[in-house]
Chains A and B, each alone.
Chain A
Amino acid sequence: MNRPELVRRRSSTTPLEAQRSRQVFTVSLSGETLGLPIEYVRTVLRAERIAPAPLAPRWVRGLINLRGHVVVAVSLRDRLGWRDADPSGAPLAVGVEIGDENFAVIVDDVGDVIEVPEDRRIASPPAMAESTRRLMLAVYALESGFLPVIDLRAALVETGAAAA
């Protein structure tokens, strides 16, 4: 997959700095801001022409053809178990590559690449739903609010058949 300018910042981080902060791609879902670990993020796309996959878990919306690759379109909302409705219109998705598997993670809106310092990391807030907490790598307390960072590997790949 292409690596757009989005990830150019990564190369500018020195190893020392990398220990003290992490780069995260922010997205918004149901008014909340979530973070995706930058190492898996490849691109942003509009998820159109999703071919449905009957019998798949609820959070798997179907399959998309992305420049010749078959990409699994997943709904982050459904994967986290949040029950509110999708916004209308062709969904926006973040193209993610984990190992040799490609996913299009459907979100409400996309944000930007930001750097979160590790010293802002906190234990997950008590108000967080269990279904969300299970899939989090870490939570950070920023000026703008809490930023949970999603464990994409756990959410998408190591699911087995027993995903929520």
Chain B
Amino acid sequence: MDELLQDFLIETGEHVEAVTSQLVEFEREPTNHEAIANIYRLVHTIKGTCGFLDLPRLEKLAHAAEALIGRVRDASCATPEAVTLILAAIDRIKSILVEIERLEAEPEGSDADLIGELEKAATAQPNAAPPAHLPTTGGAPASASDAGAAGAATKAGRDNAGIRVSVEALERIMRLVSELVLTRNQLLDVTRGETNSLISAPLQRLSSLTTDLQDGVMRARMQPIDRLFSKLPRLVRDLCVELDKKIDLVIEGADTELDRQLVEVLRDPLTHIVRNCADHGIEPPDAREAAGKPRAGCIHVRASHEAGLLIVEVADDGRGLDLARIRAKAEAVGLATAEDIAAMSAHEIRRFVFAAGFSTAASVTNVSGRGIGMDVVRSRIESVGGSVELSSTEGAGARFTIKLPLTLAIAPALVVRCAGQRFALPQQAVTEAVSIMHEGSSRLDFVSGALMARLRGEIMPIIDLRAVLGLPPLPDARAHDGLIVVVRTGRNCYGLLVDGVTDFQEIVVKPVGAALSHIPVYAGNTILGDGSVVLILDPNGVAAAQGIEPLDGLSAKAANDARQTPQREATTLLLFNTGAGPLKALPLSLISRIVTATRADLVHVDGCWMLRHQGALMPVIPICDPGDDGTRDQWPVLVAGVGGEPLGLLISEIVDVVAEAIEIDVAGATGGVIGSLIVRGKPTEMIDLAYYLQRARPEAFRRGHARKFAVLLVDDKAFFRDMLAPVIMAAGYDVTTAASGAEALALCERGHQFDAVVSDLEMPDMDGYSLARALRKEAGEGLPLIALDAHAGPAIASASLTAGFRCAVGKFDRQTLLKALGEALEGAAFNDAALEQRFASVAAKADVAA
């Protein structure tokens, strides 16, 4: 291209930018005479140069714009219409400049329409429109003007202090420096072992010089983010006009520098986010006033460096994210089920904003709905190894936080070994590497078929790199003497299973060629210090390839669900004393009331103590013997029992009421005590109420040994759950309780495995028979089901058998219950053939049941 034309394009481009930002500034501060004079001068210059270079179209346009600007300057007022017109002219000039660059000549076309408008406005009667000094966009914060008005002045200053360097020249230098870095790495590699060599001192010097040179060149590639920020005042100004809102723009850290490449990456996302804040975030002035906020909303844009990253924050003080609407939309669009949504935290709900196909705007407005969506914003930022987060307070505003690496060209990386090959992982994404073996046992476990690892209390999915790459798999990952590299990106968190880590070096990232670019697992390739080529893995690509859902999906929750043993209900316990001896406990739900009995109230009848209670005699078990203490006159009596036959337990004193998940440590040896447990640090005995309820039966029930099978106890009444769960637990089983058939089925659906199910028959919503049928369908023949009923008569027995229960047991018949459980579970076989048999019979039954 003609050198003159090229210079013209560059120079005029800069002028045009300066005019735009200064004009927006002037609109806010119409008394700034210097600004408007400056604008006039710039446009006049543009006009002159166009004439000189024989670009008539541009010249005519610049002339018309100049006339209107002159008018504005003289009248010292700027109506929004006038400013909009001038900006439109500037835009038109910009687009013509683009065409000139492409065609190397002025494009054909007429701007008569625009010129007409400009001339009309320039010659309009001064009283036609009130020369209001319109504060269209609220106050004039100082920092915004820093970016705008000062920009043009300092730019001129900057020009004098520096020289223009073409992008190509800089790129070439960058390439050479990259090669230098690689060669330096090679030299270091070669001389690694030799410490006393003559070469090591100069090599060290060379190495640090190279690092400094690398640093220097990278800095040369850096540009102040003001390049992007300077466009924002105009953008916000246009948005104010279009949306009829008042918005202040505050910019901070415009001189923060970032790599040239990243400026481009950030351009569209930043624009979209600001548009979004203006469109969806900031409320109209009336709504803001009604909410007690200033009429003008504020968008605060801030750039800074932090821990080797570039942070860009865009915050608004608008209405914040409407979580309810997001929930509704997510469900409507099908991004998640209603239950999952209900269980999500506010943070997880907010992430839906970034999901593809999501937009809560009732109509996609022209402003923020054009072209690029939030999901594209996020993927663009993530494609360079950055992250974007969204936080919000309903009613107060929202904040977008974008994090980007400072440069893309050279990055520290971890080199890992897998199946005899090496791969590089960006160090940014790696937080740590731990060995698979941990204190003799493996950290790895299969949970619902997927490999997971436990790391300091956190559970994360494990990705076997061999599987991702299609390399020969390991016979047993859990026994492997390898490493888990913990990878954390904005979106994913997982452990990558590799054979080992060989190295940690700074690598020059080169993009993969066309032949490999379609593979999402690779982010690029590089040459290591020893000259070998390794592929660079993309942490997000690897996760996606393995089907790991990113954390804005449900994988964190799903993982937690899968790994958690079903939580035991915390039971409210009454702690009390019965004279000498350890603390005693009884589930509070078993107790209907607590009364005080005096010596006079207690009568000893027929070998038993009785208490006058509510007009009748209630048997009282003296756990604490009243005869012991002659001085005492009153004792608390715990009244327990369901239905018509209450029973009183005489105790010494009530100590406390606590809520704990019951874990019987030691089964009780004496009747009346289920077992011992630790409650709040104190050894406590759990009273066996059932024992006392059936005191008439002299023999204590057997406690057998059983393997730790998992039993699911289903009963809608807490009383029975609390009564029987400890009993079953003390017999050596793992007990999970469910309060309804639906809850029981939900547990099974979520992947919890049970060896037997004990269920009440009479339950609201879903009775035991229906539950049994559902369980049979789900789990097949092999799962023993035992029915519980208050009166396990013959009718009940046969009905249960039909429904699929093994047998029916009376609720108070603990002996039979434990015997039935024992028989059912001891008989279970655990070899594969039994599994197949179960499947076969289920398949056969499926036809019958359907």
Within A49-76, the residues touching B (CB, 8 Å) are 49, 51-57, 60, 62-65, 68, 70, 72, 74
Task: Choose, from A16-24, A31-39, A136-144, A154-162, the stretch at the interface.
Answer: A154-162
Q: Does more than half of chain B's interface fall in helix, strand or loop, or is it mixed?
A: mixed
Q: A52-B421, A55-B519, A55-B521 are contacts. A64–B514 as well, Cβ < 8 Å?
A: no
Tell yes or no: A86 within 8 A of B by CB: no
Chain B interface bracket (under 10, 10 to 19, 20 to 34, 35 or more): 20 to 34
Query: Roughly how many angstroms separate A160 CA and B514 CA in the complex, as a whole number?
Result: 7
Question: Nearest Cβ in chain B — how far from A55, in angstroms?
Answer: 5
Q: In the complex, what distance in Å separates the CA atom of A64 from the CA atom of B521?
A: 19
Contacts of A68 in B (CB 8 A): 179, 182-183, 527
Query: Would you give the 0/1 interface string for A126-164, flagging 1 where the beta carbon is closer than 8 Å to chain B?
Result: 000000000000000000000000000000111111000
Q: For B186, give the chain A residue with the smallest CB separation.
A: A68
What is the CA–CA distance of A101 and B516 in the complex, to the nearest angstrom?
Answer: 12
Query: When the two chains form their complex, are residues B519 and A63 in contact, meaning their CB atoms are under 8 A apart?
Result: no
B527–A70 contact, CB under 8 A? yes
Residue on A nearest B514 in the bound complex, by CB = A157
- Please name all residues of chain A whose beta carbon is closer than 8 Å to the beta carbon of B522 when the two chains form the complex: 53, 55
Judged by a CB distance under 8 angstroms, whether B533 is at the interface is yes
Interface set, chain B 49-92, CB cutoff 8 A to A: none
Number of chain A interface residues as a range: 20 to 34
CB distance from A62 to the nearest CB of B (A): 8
Hey, which chain A residues are within 8 Å of B179, CB to CB?
A: 68
Contact partners of A56 in chain B: CB under 8 A: 515-516, 519
CA of A59 to CA of B107, assembled, Å: 47
- Give A66 Cβ to nearest chain B Cβ, in Å: 10
Give the residues in chain A near B182, CB-CB below 8 Å.
Answer: 68
Q: How many A-B residue pairs have CB under 8 A?
A: 62
B514→A156 contact, CB < 8 A: yes
A60 close to B518 (CB less than 8 A)? no
What residues on B are CB-neighbors of A159 within 8 Å?
514-515
Query: Complex formed: what's the CA distance from A156 to B517 in Å?
Result: 12
State in angstroms the CA–CA spacing of A72 and B510 once bound together: 13
Q: Across the interface, do A60 and B469 meet the contact criterion of CB distance under 8 Å?
A: no
Is B531 touching A65 in the complex (CB atoms < 8 A)? Answer: yes
The answer on a CB contact under 8 Å between B470 and A65 is: no
Residues A63 and B470 in contact in the complex (CB < 8 Å), given A53-B516, A72-B516? no
Nearest Cβ distance between residue B92 and chain A, in whole angstroms? 36
B residues in contact with A57, CB < 8 Å: 515
Which B789-809 residues have C-beta < 8 A from chain A?
none
**A101 vs B182: C-alpha distance when bound (angstroms):** 20
Residues of the A chain whose Cβ atoms lie less than 8 Å from the Cβ of B567: none
Q: Give the one of B182, B513, B518 with max A CB within 10 A.
A: B513
Docked Cα-Cα span, A144 to B469, in Å, equals 45
Check B532 against A101 for contact (C-beta < 8 Å): no
B518 touches A63 (CB 8 A): no
A51 touching B533 in the complex, CB below 8 Å, given contacts A65-B527, A101-B514, A159-B514: yes
**Could you tell me the distance between the alpha carbons of A102 and B470 in the complex, rounded to whole angstroms?**
26
Interface residues of A (CB under 8 A from B): 49, 51-57, 60, 62-65, 68, 70, 72, 74, 101-103, 156-161
User: What are 13 inter-chain pairs, A to B, with CB distance below 8 A?
Assistant: A53-B535, A54-B421, A56-B519, A60-B515, A62-B533, A65-B527, A68-B179, A68-B183, A70-B510, A70-B533, A102-B513, A103-B513, A159-B515
